[in-house]
Chains A and B, each alone.
Chain A
Amino acid sequence: MGTPRVLWSITKKCFTVGVITLTVSDLFASIVPVRGASMSPTFNPKTNSLLDSLSDDRVLVEKLCLRNYKFSHGDVIVFSSPNNHKEKHVKRIVGLPGDWVGTIYDVVHIPEGHCWVEGDNTASSLDSRSFGPVPLGLVKGRVTHVLWPPHRVGTVDRKTSQNRVSSSSSASKF
């Protein structure tokens, strides 16, 4: 029984599986946990049910949208934080390049190549209202489905707030 040979073949298998998983999660889709309540009630709603309070939501993030960076209003995206590239945030796109977005204090113009993101839970969300428009190059994927907990499995819908955004395109895509 050649133990070094068995070990080597196990190592090769692990390496192959690792490489394939990394490629699939980079180019197609991956499953990520969502922490925090900034996207409540879409993700992590703090209800009293046991399953909700036990663990974070797991969502499916698709990477095919990164081929041509075409997003629509209301898409939920995962992006690297502009202030700390190691952190990733999950928020909803409220404004696309060329839009004018109304905040409490003024109206912001979204420059080319950037987007305006906000969390669904406006009371406790650190988003574009604090760090400004986010370059689209920082977007790492789009959330399409909730996969955990089981009773909330389903697609993540687009939700737009027409009254706060003046869009340069004549009709928002749905």
Chain B
Amino acid sequence: MRQWRIIAKEAMARASIIGKFLCLLHVTDAYILSSNHVLGPSMLPTLNITGDVVLVEHLSHRLGKLGSGDLVLVRSPLDPKKTLTKRIVAMEGDKVTFSLDPTRSHSSRSLVVPKGHVWIQGDNAYVSCDSRHFGPLPYGLIEGKAFMRVWPPSSFGLLGE
């Protein structure tokens, strides 16, 4: 009988260490730094079409330190289960000029980004589905800022303008 109690105690101790580690992992992943696999053609030539692994920090958007030119991961307003990677082109209050169809350069529109929203666009304007299609993005949908690429090793380095 005592054998089982000793085993149970040790199992509980091990399980609690694993549980605490998983909680720490979640907090780090959600609030500090995480790595994400991003793919798709909408951010060419900055990000590869076949997929890159980028490091995303989750502090800047909580502290309000995002600005235009930042690469951000956002929850899609069209499908909450999908995450998009785009670049912030304009912050709230800025005037943004864009053309819905880059192949026809003479059709362009302008608007002012409303309060609490940002304007995001993919670097590859021809195939990106972004604010030009679904409008200004509420700031609350931003999940983090991608600042560094770690895979593939040939393009290891900071992601800049």
A residues in contact (CB < 8 Å) with B: 16, 19-20, 22-23, 26-27, 68-69, 80-85, 111-114, 135-139
B27 within 8 A of A: yes
Question: Counting chain B CB atoms within 10 Å of each CB, which of A69, A85, A114, A138 scores highest?
Answer: A85
When distances are taken between beta carbons in the complex, the residues of chain A under 8 Å from B116 are 81-85
Q: Cα distance A139–B142 when bound, in Å?
A: 13
B138 within 8 A of A: yes
Docked complex: B77-112 residues within 8 A CB-CB of A: 77-81
Q: Cα distance A22–B20 when bound, in Å?
A: 12
Minimum C-beta distance from A88 to chain B (A): 9
When distances are taken between beta carbons in the complex, the residues of chain B under 8 Å from A16 are 20
Interface residue from A19, A81, A82 paired with B23 (Cβ < 8 Å): A19
Known: A80-B140, A85-B139, A138-B141. A68 touches B81 (CB 8 A): yes
B residues in contact (CB < 8 Å) with A: 19-20, 22-24, 26-27, 30-31, 75-81, 114-117, 138-142
Asked if residues B80 and A20 are in contact (CB atoms below 8 Å), the reply is no
Minimum C-beta distance from A21 to chain B (A): 9
Minimum C-beta distance from A110 to chain B (A): 12
Asked if residues B27 and A23 are in contact (CB atoms below 8 Å), the reply is yes
User: Mostly helix, strand, loop or mixed at chain A's interface?
Assistant: mixed
When distances are taken between beta carbons in the complex, the residues of chain A under 8 Å from B140 are 80-82, 85, 137-138
Asked if residues A113 and B76 are in contact (CB atoms below 8 Å), the reply is yes
When distances are taken between beta carbons in the complex, the residues of chain A under 8 Å from B81 are 68-69
Nearest CB to that of B136 among chain A residues? A82
Interface residue from A69, A82, A111 paired with B80 (Cβ < 8 Å): A69
Asked if residues A138 and B27 are in contact (CB atoms below 8 Å), the reply is no
Q: Cα distance A136–B20 when bound, in Å?
A: 31
Question: Counting chain B CB atoms within 10 Å of each CB, which of A26, A27, A69, A113 scores highest?
Answer: A113
Q: Cα distance A81–B27 when bound, in Å?
A: 23
Q: Cα distance A111–B80 when bound, in Å?
A: 12
Q: Cα distance A113–B31 when bound, in Å?
A: 25
Minimum C-beta distance from B130 to chain A (A): 14
Asked if residues B138 and A19 are in contact (CB atoms below 8 Å), the reply is no
10 closest cross-chain pairs (CB), A and B:
A137-B75, A85-B140, A80-B140, A23-B23, A83-B116, A136-B80, A137-B80, A135-B77, A82-B138, A113-B78
